[in-house]
Chains A and B, each alone.
Chain A
């Protein structure tokens, strides 16, 4: 176990770090050029744009997925009929590969063949929904498609959390005559804390990994408008024979992940310790 961690994770990270301060192109080279690759990286418009896109995408995607997932879970938790069927329907997108569904989304969003065309045919010739070919809006189309995919999983996790809440609490609040929404906001949500943290970490890693949806829907286009860091890394790793620059970009992404996840893990371990000492 320890060996796996050291060799498999730490080892590869250190190797990447080493390559990122070399002048490697197709093959790894053993030299040292300092931070030259990082300087080049942050002088690159496409890289900066992809970071901007990732930040914008990350905030909207995580918020939207959590809210929709939570609402779906609360809805199903009302003991609706056909719960099993609904759960399957909501969870279904997550079971499918995005490489396949991305193509479908591309057709749906394409102004020539998708929603825009359909609405126009229904008798609204001025209807416009061309986000996927629009420089400023294209990133939101990726949000829509990926929220569609991830919301079901988040729903399942929240549902498990909701089912873990003692029925006695509900009975007590009913006797006190507290409205349901108030119970959710003031009692249930705080109790869901650990679930929310887990969902957040899961969605954050999904944001950092964002790749297949972009490739299958827009290929980073139009132009470079929907570029993301992973695509930048893959392009330079394989297409452009510059593994040093790709490694530098990977290290930046690794640091980003650590910056997001470390505070959460720290807070949780503190909370556990406190719970243990009581």
Chain B
């Protein structure tokens, strides 16, 4: 490269830098949205942030665990990002307690988060009266998906409306030579099945007693025993190829009509729409059984690490308000397959399942968090270990109950 070229490049660089306002709030954002639909979704937030006058620096790191550990390492190393994605869980509670996060009370109070955020989400982002995270999406992990073609072939006429009817449908699918339950044999997917049974069979009260209160009497109860037995009963409807299978491969079994039912989060919708399948026409979605069935909430938030950069706080406030704005929420949710964090949005462009979910969300009494919202990552992981061992091996149910009790007591 000759001198003139170097000078030209340098000049361009200077021109570029000065073209961007020197005092524009600049946000470096760590997230793990790297798949097709996900990165399209995160672009909508970036666009919204830019049009609000900010500068968006994207740091996408595949796999949640990796992204979170990079965030923690960078905070420890003194070079924190402006914002970082976490799940709507206790994952970032340690960081709040260690005092490494800025709160966004200013925005939360001005925009009235307390008025529109679901109770469950509110309880996660608000710690000791301060708001330490801006929620961005809500996912419901225990949707029951079914293939209309498979149901037709097996002669199932209506949607199952109770747990018993679900098993009746599974039996019919089995008789018809179709894989009744498409399952990916990985610990977290077994956790989803367990959560679905606990919510739909155990009900809201037992659910909270187990996962939130960690009540020893509830863990030892007959009602919970029945939940565990029913969870294990699902094992009989899974094909031999399930162990280690990825969730999207399981969804593909439904898409091709080789399997009838899958219990999986609403991110599965992305797989159906990639295969040009339409809810209501090719596949159905059931949020839960009965008019009072719990609606399980999980989702994503952004947290805002403390920084030496005086402009960071301004960038963080702007981001908190952009993320939670109704327009951003709708656009993001459509691309991501999630629900908006607020129900006061225009749902007309959303699909059938999302509208159904949003309708249920309006009834606050039906909202429940997933296990991670109530348990520490450590406890939740220990619970997942026990459930996956129980799913795959013959373990006495009393031992499972004892183990769960010990796991929930430990790791506080």
**Which residues of A are interface residues toward B (Cβ below 8 A)?**
25-27, 40, 43-46, 106, 110-112, 130, 132-133, 135, 218-225, 235-242, 245
By beta carbon, the residue of chain B nearest A113 is B241
> Are A242 and B406 also in contact (CB < 8 A) when A106-B244, A222-B243 are?
no
Are B240 and A239 closer than 8 Å at their CB atoms? no
Q: Across the interface, which residues of B come within 8 angstroms of A40, CB to CB?
A: 410-411
A135 to B72, CA, bound (A): 36
Are A240 and B377 closer than 8 Å at their CB atoms? yes
Query: Is B326 interfacial (CB 8 A cutoff)?
Result: no
The residue that B377 contacts in the complex, of A44, A135, A225, A239, with Cβ under 8 A, is: A239
> Are A133 and B241 also in contact (CB < 8 A) when A221-B186, A241-B91 are?
yes
> Are A222 and B411 also in contact (CB < 8 A) when A43-B406, A132-B244 are?
no
Chain B residue total in the interface (Cβ 8 A): 35
Are B243 and A133 closer than 8 Å at their CB atoms? yes
Q: Across the interface, which residues of A come within 8 angstroms of B244, CB to CB?
A: 106, 110, 132-133, 218-219, 221-222
Q: Across the interface, which residues of A come within 8 angstroms of B377, CB to CB?
A: 239-242
The residue that B94 contacts in the complex, of A25, A235, A239, A245, with Cβ under 8 A, is: A25
Query: Is B388 interfacial (CB 8 A cutoff)?
Result: yes
Q: Across the interface, which residues of A come within 8 angstroms of B376, CB to CB?
A: 25, 241
Q: Across the interface, which residues of B come within 8 angstroms of A218, CB to CB?
A: 243-244
Which 5 pairs from chain A and chain B are nearest by CB? A223-B392, A26-B94, A222-B243, A112-B241, A240-B381
The residue that B95 contacts in the complex, of A26, A132, A239, A240, with Cβ under 8 A, is: A26
Are B240 and A222 closer than 8 Å at their CB atoms? no
Query: Is B98 interfacial (CB 8 A cutoff)?
Result: yes
> Are A242 and B98 also in contact (CB < 8 A) when A133-B243, A221-B185 are?
no
**Which residues of B are interface residues toward A (Cβ below 8 A)?**
65-66, 68-69, 72, 76, 91, 94-95, 98, 185-187, 240-244, 376-378, 380-382, 385-386, 388-389, 391-393, 403, 406, 410-411
Q: Looking at chain A's contact residues, is the secondary structure mostly helix, strand, loop, or mixed?
A: loop
Q: Across the interface, which residues of B come within 8 angstroms of A27, CB to CB?
A: 72, 76, 94-95, 98
Q: Looking at chain B's contact residues, is the secondary structure mostly helix, strand, loop, or mixed?
A: helix
Q: Across the interface, which residues of B come within 8 angstroms of A238, CB to CB?
A: 65-66, 68-69
Smallest CB separation, A132 vs chain B (Å): 7
By beta carbon, the residue of chain A nearest B386 is A45
By beta carbon, the residue of chain B nearest A116 is B240
Smallest CB separation, A257 vs chain B (Å): 25
Smallest CB separation, B155 vs chain A (Å): 27
Are A224 and B385 closer than 8 Å at their CB atoms? yes
Q: Across the interface, which residues of B come within 8 angstroms of A25, CB to CB?
A: 94, 376, 378
By beta carbon, the residue of chain A nearest B410 is A40
Q: List 21 A-B contacts (CB under 8 A).
A: A25-B378, A26-B72, A26-B94, A27-B72, A27-B95, A40-B410, A40-B411, A45-B386, A45-B389, A130-B240, A133-B243, A135-B393, A218-B243, A219-B186, A220-B187, A221-B243, A222-B185, A223-B388, A224-B389, A236-B381, A241-B94
A40 to B91, CA, bound (A): 21
Q: Across the interface, which residues of B come within 8 angstroms of A224, CB to CB?
A: 187, 385, 388-389, 392
Are B403 and A45 closer than 8 Å at their CB atoms? yes
By beta carbon, the residue of chain B nearest A235 is B381
A156 to B330, CA, bound (A): 61
Q: Across the interface, which residues of B come within 8 angstroms of A112, CB to CB?
A: 240-241
Q: Across the interface, which residues of B come within 8 angstroms of A237, CB to CB?
A: 69
Smallest CB separation, B409 vs chain A (Å): 10
A256 to B9, CA, bound (A): 57
Smallest CB separation, A23 vs chain B (Å): 9
By beta carbon, the residue of chain B nearest A25 is B94
By beta carbon, the residue of chain B nearest A40 is B410
Taking A222-B392, A238-B69, A240-B380 as known contacts, 4 extra A-B pairs with beta carbons closer than 8 A to each other, sorted by chain A number, are A46-B385, A133-B244, A221-B187, A223-B388
A27 to B378, CA, bound (A): 14
> Are A242 and B94 also in contact (CB < 8 A) when A112-B240, A221-B392 are?
no
A225 to B378, CA, bound (A): 20
Q: Across the interface, which residues of A come within 8 angstroms of B386, CB to CB?
A: 45
Question: Among B186, B243, B386, which residue has the most Cβ atoms of chain A within 10 A?
Answer: B243
Q: Across the interface, which residues of A come within 8 angstroms of B406, CB to CB?
A: 43
Are A133 and B240 closer than 8 Å at their CB atoms? yes
A245 to B411, CA, bound (A): 9
Q: Across the interface, which residues of B come within 8 angstroms of A236, CB to CB?
A: 378, 381
Are A111 and B240 closer than 8 Å at their CB atoms? yes
By beta carbon, the residue of chain A nearest B243 is A222
Are B411 and A242 closer than 8 Å at their CB atoms? yes
Are B392 and A135 closer than 8 Å at their CB atoms? yes
A236 to B243, CA, bound (A): 22
Are A111 and B381 closer than 8 Å at their CB atoms? no
Smallest CB separation, B412 vs chain A (Å): 9
Question: Among A40, A110, A238, which residue has the most Cβ atoms of chain B within 10 A?
Answer: A238
Q: Across the interface, which residues of B come within 8 angstroms of A130, CB to CB?
A: 240
Q: Across the interface, which residues of A come within 8 angstroms of B240, CB to CB?
A: 111-112, 130, 133
By beta carbon, the residue of chain A nearest B72 is A26
A170 to B65, CA, bound (A): 58
Are B378 and A242 closer than 8 Å at their CB atoms? yes
A275 to B72, CA, bound (A): 53
By beta carbon, the residue of chain A nearest B64 is A239
Are B391 and A223 closer than 8 Å at their CB atoms? yes
By beta carbon, the residue of chain B nearest A224 is B389
Question: Among A26, A236, A245, which residue has the most Cβ atoms of chain B within 10 A?
Answer: A26
Q: Across the interface, which residues of A come within 8 angstroms of B94, CB to CB?
A: 25-27, 241
Are A240 and B388 closer than 8 Å at their CB atoms? no
Q: Across the interface, which residues of A come within 8 angstroms of B68, CB to CB?
A: 238
A25 to B380, CA, bound (A): 14
Q: Across the interface, which residues of A come within 8 angstroms of B388, CB to CB?
A: 221, 223-224
